[in-house]
Amino acid sequence: MALFYIANHTYVQTRYILVTAPGLTLVILLLALQVLPRSARAAYGLALAAALAVSVITVRPFIRNKALNCQTTQDLALYIHDRLPPAAPVADYAIGEIAFFSQHPIVDTSGITRPAALPYLNAPPPAMLQWARSQGAQYWIGKQPQPGAVLIYTVNQRFVGWSPHPALYATSNRLELWQLALEPGSPR
């Protein structure tokens, strides 16, 4: 699996590491136990203590925050479903849950389903906005995309990432839905 990500030039998803890392660690420790039995027992004890510490300090808060954020993202998607015009495209980077629950057309600014977005990923933000608008986007999920955009929904989401600093898991950032400002001469 790791070779796939190297060949594909993408980063390894967290969910795959959580599944494969324990097994790979066990295989490595078993090989070490066969070659150097005494040293391997000490390494096994240290690895077990480190795994427990990492689990308590990072994995548990990460998973808890991820679950909380899934609920707030679903709430946003249901807001979109219930309150926005059904054919109004919404620009978003993390499209999965929003697309599934909202059932709205999504302008994918990550480039996963719309590779035409890729050249704009490292461009200044106005370039991505201009591209999203050219794809019909009327709403934007993220930071305020332009002056005149109207904030219509906001919720706090917890920090999701791997950090050895437990206090970071108590911090949050805003998930925002913006109605894009009308462009001159465009009907809405």
53 lies in some domain? no
Give how far Cα 128 sits from Cα of 88, 91, 100, Å. 18, 10, 23
149 lies in some domain? yes
Which residues is 177 bridged to in the sheet?
Answer: 141, 153
Tens of pLDDT, residue by residue over 80-132, are 999 999 999 999 999 989 999 999 999 999 999 999 999 999 999 999 999 99
100 lies in some domain? yes
The DSSP bridge pattern shows strands 106-108 and 150-158 to be unpaired
3-state helix, strand, coil in the chain (%, to 5): 55, 15, 30
Instruction: State which residues form the domain around 166.
Output: 66-179
188 lies in some domain? no
CB 138 within 8 A of CB 150: no
61 lies in some domain? no
86 lies in some domain? yes
Query: Which three-class secondary structure string do you get for 58-106?
Result: HHHHHHHHHHHHHHHHHHHHHHHHHHCCCCCCEEECCCHHHHHHHCCCE
User: pLDDT 10s digit of each residue in the chain, 188 long?
Assistant: 556 555 655 555 666 666 567 777 778 778 877 887 777 778 778 877 887 887 788 888 888 999 999 999 999 999 999 999 999 999 999 998 999 999 999 999 999 999 999 999 999 999 999 999 999 999 999 999 999 999 999 999 999 887 888 899 999 999 999 999 987 655 55
What's the whole-model pTM score?
0.74
Number of separate domains in the chain: 1
42 vs 126: CA distance, rounded Å: 55
59 lies in some domain? no
151 vs 175: CA distance, rounded Å: 11
105 lies in some domain? yes
